[in-house]
């Protein structure tokens, strides 16, 4: 009986230690997701801050395009006010991207504007911000994907249910903007998004996420300093 009791006690200890380790990993993953979302929010706010100056610059050459400017201003206000879940924030980004596409379509009709140094600087900053936003988005979604797999998988799902660790939302948008290469089209509906710059351009698939049994990916390096 003594050996049986010891064996049972050993099993209980192993289960308890495994549960503690699983719980701690869930906590670490939740914090990584929170930090990753903060990076996305930072880049979104940077984009929002650039838009008013961009609109004012375009106005100097195309003041009669009032409807376009109103659309951009209204969409920006809606996106800035969106403070809900990642899915809600992504939904608010759609009208803003559509409005910005209209704005850049107007720019194409004004060669002098396209050569304006202030516009070029804003366009470059917007492009850099978009690059950092897409990097932050991929990092966030990779962490959410691994965390959600653990919530759904046995035996970690037992710990998840015991301590109310629920699935997190992805941040997925239908379109994106990149000022230095025209207006791209990005489709996130398939296995990986493909970016197209103009007709017949090559597409680049998104980097595949790490398998669930690998360590949580390290955060991306800090973005280079830029000037407005």
Conformation bin of residue 182: beta by default, left when phi > 0, alpha when psi is -120 to 50: left
Closest listed residue to residue 146, CA positions, set 41, 37, 26: 26
Cβ burial 146-180 (10 Å sphere, 16+ → b, else e): bbbebbeeeebeebbeeeebeebbebebbbbbbbe
CA-CA distances (angstroms) from residue 2 to 7, 8, 11, 15, 204? 9, 10, 14, 20, 64
Where exactly are the structural domains of the chain? Answer: 16-196
Place of tokens 């109103």: 70
10-55 pLDDT, tens digit each: 888 888 999 999 999 999 999 999 999 999 999 999 999 999 999 9
CATH homologous superfamily of 16-196: LemA-like domain (1.20.1440.20)
Query: What pTM did the predictor assign?
Result: 0.72
* Alpha carbons within 13 A on the beta-carbon side of 141: 19
The percentage of residues in the chain with a pLDDT greater than 90, rounded to a whole number, is 61
């Amino acid at each position: 009986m003594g050996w049986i009791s010891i064996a049972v006690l050993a099993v209980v200890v192993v289960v308890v230690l495994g549960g503690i380790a699983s719980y701690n990993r869930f906590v670490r993953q939740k914090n990584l997701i929170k930090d990753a979302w903060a990076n996305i929010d930072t880049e979104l706010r940077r984009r929002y801050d650039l838009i008013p100056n961009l609109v004012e610059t375009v106005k100097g050459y195309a003041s009669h395009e009032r409807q376009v400017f109103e659309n951009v201003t209204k969409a920006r206000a809606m996106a800035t006010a969106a403070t809900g879940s990642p899915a809600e924030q992504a939904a608010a980004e759609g009208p803003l991207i559509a409005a910005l596409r209209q704005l850049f379509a107007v720019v194409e009709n004004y060669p002098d504007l396209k050569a304006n140094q202030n516009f070029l600087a804003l366009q470059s900053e917007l492009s850099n911000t978009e690059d950092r936003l897409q990097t932050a988005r991929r990092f966030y979604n990779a962490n959410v994907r691994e965390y959600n797999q653990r919530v759904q998988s046995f035996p970690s799902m037992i710990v998840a249910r015991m301590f109310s660790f629920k699935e997190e939302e992805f941040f997925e948008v239908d379109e994106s903007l990149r000022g230095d290469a025209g207006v791209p089209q990005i489709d996130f509906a398939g296995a990986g998004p493909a970016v197209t710059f103009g007709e017949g351009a090559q597409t680049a698939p998104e980097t595949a996420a790490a398998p669930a049994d690998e360590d949580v990916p390290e955060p991306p390096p800090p973005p280079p300093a830029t000037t407005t």
